[in-house]
Amino acid sequence: MSKRVIVVESPAKTKTLQKYLGKKEYKIIASYGHVRDLVAKEGAVDPEHDFAMRYDLIEKNKKHVDVFLKEMANAQELYLATDPDREGEAISWHLYEIAKEKGLLKDVKVFRVAFNQITKTAVQAAMDNPRELSMELVHAQQARRALDYLVGFNLSPLLWKKIRRGLSAGRVQSPALRMIVERQALIDAFEAKEFWSIEADLNVDKQDFIAKLTKYEGEKFEQFTITDEKTATTAQEKLKKLSNGELTVAKVDKKQRKRNPAPPFITSTLQQEAARKLGFTTQRTMRTAQTLYEGVDVGNGVEGLITYMRTDSTHLANEAVDEIRNLIIERYGKENLSDEPRIFKSKSKNAQEAHEAIRPTVVTHIPDEIKSFLTAEQYKLYSLIWKRSMACQMIHATINTVGVDFNCGEGNTFRATGSSIKNAGFIAVYQEGTDDEKKEDDEKFLPELEEGQVVKAKDIAGKQHFTEPPPAFTEASLVKSLEEHGIGRPSTYASIISTLKAREYVEMDKKRFRPTDVATVVSKFLTNYFTDYVDYDFTARLEDDLDAIARGESEWVPLLRKFWKPFKHLVDDTEENVKRSDVTQEKMDENCPKCEKPLTTRLGRRGKFVGCSGYPECDYTRSVGGDEEEEPETIDRNCPDCKEPLIIRHGRYGKFIGCSAYPKCKHIEPLEKPADSGVRCPDCSKGNMVSRKSRYGKIFYSCERYPDCKYAVWNEPLDAPCAKCGFLMTTIKTTKRRGTEQVCPVKNCSHAVPYEAKED
């Protein structure tokens, strides 16, 4: 029998497929993601030769490529079964090219198979209906990768020269950063305005409710009709006098409205809802969804629990709709089933209807029934997906709304609103969340009221309010805004956000993005000098052009050519004609108190500060919006290197001890002396292992002789050699799944035994 090789991306998927396809007929191996990438140096993309791209094997995946090539030496059939998206297609193409370059594809039949879900039926159907590699998808991915390289490799060095080393810019990352910076600018520039509402505290049959003034002295009462306490008090007293403790029902409006369920999840809506309802980051959502897609053992062996999680399509397969509708009848009754199957139209022009929305592969896997087989994260996310999929085929919710107008003398009207659910419909299973939601008055219940009825007014009072700035972005609202602007695609949202965090362009404050001072300067520089390339519409049009390549409607090289020439000209012009001070300094309408020269805001290592334009002749500085910088705090000790006094300094990661003679002497030491573990360093055997804090505040353990000895571990050292390999030290590791264990830190040693701390 011929030898058949199947290549997937993840090792978890190999186990699931092996179960469905058997071990005898197929050899299933994993690529562990991308196997090749552009060489990490200039010239990886060559604009002079039709943007020829030079690739190299990714170092960490070389061993997996070697396994692939070894298996291909005797193969007669190759099935490329990487993920069913643009990136997956590119990985398959790279594997194909590697094997072809090695001469391993002679007389080998090559097939491309794609699994939208990893169930036995879907896998068998894909294997029975293979296709060829889609070069349109490959070219679209290559164009995207080339554009990202050309932007990053040209803009990032420019940022290094004009602002600070270590910065980066990206084709999609930079417009996203601009979005966050501009929102913060609106928040910072916002000036709160005072306004007043007038409310009547009413009571009917022992039920209290509120009515708000909507008409005053014959005129419509608007937000800024009353803007000060004096006017509010006058109006309040006048209305109290007119009411004499009672208001009369003038009009009762009763209506019914229908609320339809949201479509099943696509990538962006899953990320938004998981952020709102579960508090998940986009990365955590995608990581957890990946495990549900690749397969979990829920009692009958490993099987994929959801369809592919990177999708723009809200389409559901007919058989999936039938299964969902049958389960609705079984669990919730036929009366809660929509009359006809709901069909949802995808907003994305590039959504492939052959792909599906994110849904359970087997809807009868009820979340609570398989909970014991799932991790806490998997259960929460699977429940969300299952409920949304069920709700989308259920009947609409019917809501009764009521609005009641009350007269208070001539020309004055109060209004109370409320609502009640007549038929919950889909809401009984799932209701979509919203960003920055506020409790609306019409969510309250009102008593039964009739026209002409006199209602007791317990009080009429003014209520002070202030307008609020727009909220800072959360991960959910940023993804929503990126999607609305057409920036990025399902597979890119999580990486955009993680890059902004990793580059320290943003800080999270109560789960909201706050741009750092560096981010503000970078965004302003790009907006001023590379306006088109961080323009939202330009970025969206470029995404559409890449989608057109994927659909086979456009060629990729002409697109790159059209982009490259004006972009390169702008980079060269900016490098030559823009000074660093133009970017990092901003003149203030204030003179230096020391030398009378103009003051400027500058970007330093710790963010923005105010400094004299006469520097270095004048050394005046102060914090932005503050006073002159305080004298540094000294400690009763001299520098061991140059004998000058030591002082407490502030760095980007907090306080530390440094030499007062800096920059001539660069001696530094931590403010808190690292705690000695008493365990000898197993690498150099000269120093002890001490506990330190990483830049992100995480505790780790390293040799006290650093930087002479760079040995370090994350887990607490234990002065006991490994019983298996004899290594001089072991560590204490605690996980939820295995508890606390004594483990060997040597990578290839599997020694791990339960550990109990000895009582003192």
Q: Which residues pair with 414 in a beta bridge?
A: 213, 406
- 707's CB contacts (< 8 A; 6+ apart) are none
With CA atoms as reference, report the closest residue to 672 among 686, 660, 690, 689.
690
Phi/psi of residue 374, each to 5°?
A: -110, 155
With CA atoms as reference, report the closest residue to 310 among 280, 274, 269.
269
Q: How far is CA 209 from CA 201, 253, 292, 403, in A?
A: 6, 17, 47, 13
Rounded distance between C-alpha atoms, residue 383 and residue 367, angstroms: 5
With CA atoms as reference, report the closest residue to 564 among 204, 151, 263.
151
Phi/psi of residue 687, each to 5°?
A: -120, 170
**Burial track 139-159 (b if 16+ CB lie within 10 A, e otherwise):** bbbbbbbbbbbbbbbbbebbb
Q: Give yes or no for a contact between 476 and 432, defined as CB atoms under 8 angstroms apart.
A: no
Rounded distance between C-alpha atoms, residue 635 and residue 656, angstroms: 11
With CA atoms as reference, report the closest residue to 745 among 677, 675, 691, 682.
682
Phi/psi of residue 402, each to 5°?
A: -140, 140
Phi/psi of residue 80, each to 5°?
A: -90, 105
With CA atoms as reference, report the closest residue to 459 among 244, 201, 197, 203.
201
Rounded distance between C-alpha atoms, residue 224 and residue 212, angstroms: 14
CA end-to-end span of the chain, whole Å?
66
Rounded distance between C-alpha atoms, residue 213 and residue 218, angstroms: 12
Phi/psi of residue 178, each to 5°?
A: -60, -40
Rounded distance between C-alpha atoms, residue 24 and residue 1, angstroms: 9
Residues serving a catalytic function are: 308
With CA atoms as reference, report the closest residue to 601 among 616, 617, 583.
583
With CA atoms as reference, report the closest residue to 200 among 251, 235, 252.
235
With CA atoms as reference, report the closest residue to 144 among 559, 479, 533, 486.
559
Q: How far is CA 374 from CA 118, 297, 359, 382, 429, in A?
A: 17, 9, 17, 9, 21
Q: Give yes or no for a contact between 702 and 712, defined as CB atoms under 8 angstroms apart.
A: yes
Residue 253: alpha-carbon gap to chain centroid: 44
Burial class of 389 by CB neighbour count within 10 A (0 to 12, 13 to 18, 19+): buried
Kindly state the DSSP code that residue 681 receives in the 8-state scheme: P
Alpha carbons within 13 A on the beta-carbon side of 344: 25
Task: Look up residue 608 and give its amino acid.
Answer: K
Rounded distance between C-alpha atoms, residue 87 and residue 138, angstroms: 8
Q: Give yes or no for a contact between 247 and 457, defined as CB atoms under 8 angstroms apart.
A: yes
With CA atoms as reference, report the closest residue to 544 among 485, 478, 481.
485
Phi/psi of residue 541, each to 5°?
A: -65, -40
Strand ranges of the sheet holding 77-80, from the earlier edge strand across to the other edge? 26-30, 4-8, 77-80, 109-112
Q: Give yes or no for a contact between 304 and 119, defined as CB atoms under 8 angstroms apart.
A: yes
The dihedral through the CA atoms of 372, 374, 378, 383 has a sign that is negative
- Residues belonging to the chain: 760
